[in-house]
Chain A
Amino acid sequence: VTGEHHPRPTSEVERRASALEALLVERGIIAAADVDAIVELYANDLGPMNGAKVVARAWTDEAYKQRLLADGTAAIAELGFSGPEGDHMVVVENTPQVHNVVVCTLCSCYPWPVLGLPPNWYKSAPYRSRMVREPRTLLAEMGCELADDVEIRVWDSSAETRYLVLPERPERARALDEAALAELVTRDSMIGVERL
């Protein structure tokens, strides 16, 4: 890596990754610049700031919210967000009585256009194994304590649909405008492991 002044020992997996990339580039299968461009896009341009705009719009525009709940893919595309892992979006709404949370038990399915790439914990064995079996306990462990009478709906994204949770608008945010509201919306609240 350019600019790295203190080289550290490379791990085996790192050596394997470099070997495969060098081979594919040498054979003309891919270009290193294409890899660079993809890394750049996902590291910088896609992320929960996109989903936060969708949520803030839904909080401030009731007609938009209704479109979002009726056809997530189309309503999200209105704000310019679409692409791989976002072709079939379903938005699920939290209310005082219902809490939604998303998991992918088989792999790592996640709505890239609105949330970017999934965090490690989302792809980890503890999260994937436990969220479908003991959601209330696991949510509490992750800092999201729910009253016993709040119904929990877990969404296991096993096929092509990708889910986004629409969190409840916090009371404290009543006076804020759309841009300020978007600042309040976290990745975790849109996965459903946090209430705002």
Chain B
Amino acid sequence: VDGVHDLGGLVGFGSVEHEPMEPVFHEPWEGRVFGMMGAVSLAGYTSGPSFRHAIERMDGVHYLASSYYEHWLTGLATLLVERGVISASDLLDRVDDFPLARPIADDPLPPAFAHDPSPSAAFPLGARVRVRNVHPRGHTRCPDYVRDREGVVVRVDPPANVPELEAHAGRVVPETVYCVRFACADLWGDGRDGATVHVDLYERYLEAV
């Protein structure tokens, strides 16, 4: 989904508050949220792509105004409510307000990405590829800033589970992933940085040039 989590290349967030020796958890509740997510995952109630998608479905203003582990807390509570493990009213019995992310029904499985994989490894090392200009409503690992851009395959990875299918349909379907190199100048229209950016892209995101 073209949400505020897809941050690559956006302007206006200021400088990085770089803290060289920061603690693993800044507050005890952050550790509790991290540990809860781990325990819930080990107990089999969620998967990585579903959890990420739940975070991506957070209200955009809430996402940008809240801390990282508040994203986790909101995503985790949303998934548990959607899966019927707990209810929203269980939460509201205990606290006055517990904002959840929008329902998954609002973010359907993107039709363009709903198919099973074609025979894999279509693009050899060194192939020039273009990222398909598809903007799915749902979960995807294709960052917006590479859509419709051309790059070169620099590594072919073993098949990995297609996150769209795992997040939306609970289906585990492996597909070849390509590490594609883009020139910064091609992405941003000026050559000032003389740099390249590499993005790991599932085969279905790509087309031959």
Contact = CB atoms under 8 A, between A and B. Distances in A.
A107 to B, nearest CB: 6
Interface in B64-103: 64, 66-70, 73, 76-77, 80, 85-86, 90-91, 94-95, 97-98
Contacts of B198: 153-156
A104 B11 CA distance: 16
B98 A16 contact: yes
Contact of A34 (B42, B76, B188): B42
Interface string A148-168: 100111111111110000000
Contacts of B18: 121, 142-143, 193
Nearest to B188: A133
A126 B13 contact: yes
Q: Which interface class (under 10, 10 to 19, 20 to 34, 35 or more) fits B?
A: 35 or more
A127 B7 CA distance: 9
A20 B36 contact: yes
A158 B143 contact: yes
User: Is chain B's interface secondary structure helix, strand, loop, or mixed overall?
Assistant: mixed
Contacts of A23: 86, 90-91, 94
B90 A123 contact: no
A158 B42 contact: no
B26 A120 contact: yes
B112 to A, nearest CB: 18
Given A17-B73, A19-B98, A129 B39 contact: no
B22 interface: yes
A17 B193 CA distance: 42
Interface in A1-59: 1, 11-24, 27, 29-31, 34-39, 42-43, 47
A94 interface: no
Interface of A: 1, 11-24, 27, 29-31, 34-39, 42-43, 47, 88, 90, 105-108, 116-117, 119-121, 123-130, 132-138, 141-143, 148, 151-161, 186, 188, 193
Interface of B: 5-11, 13-20, 22, 24-29, 31-36, 38-40, 42-43, 45, 52, 55, 64, 66-70, 73, 76-77, 80, 85-86, 90-91, 94-95, 97-98, 141-143, 145, 155, 157-158, 160-161, 163, 177, 179, 184, 187-188, 192-202
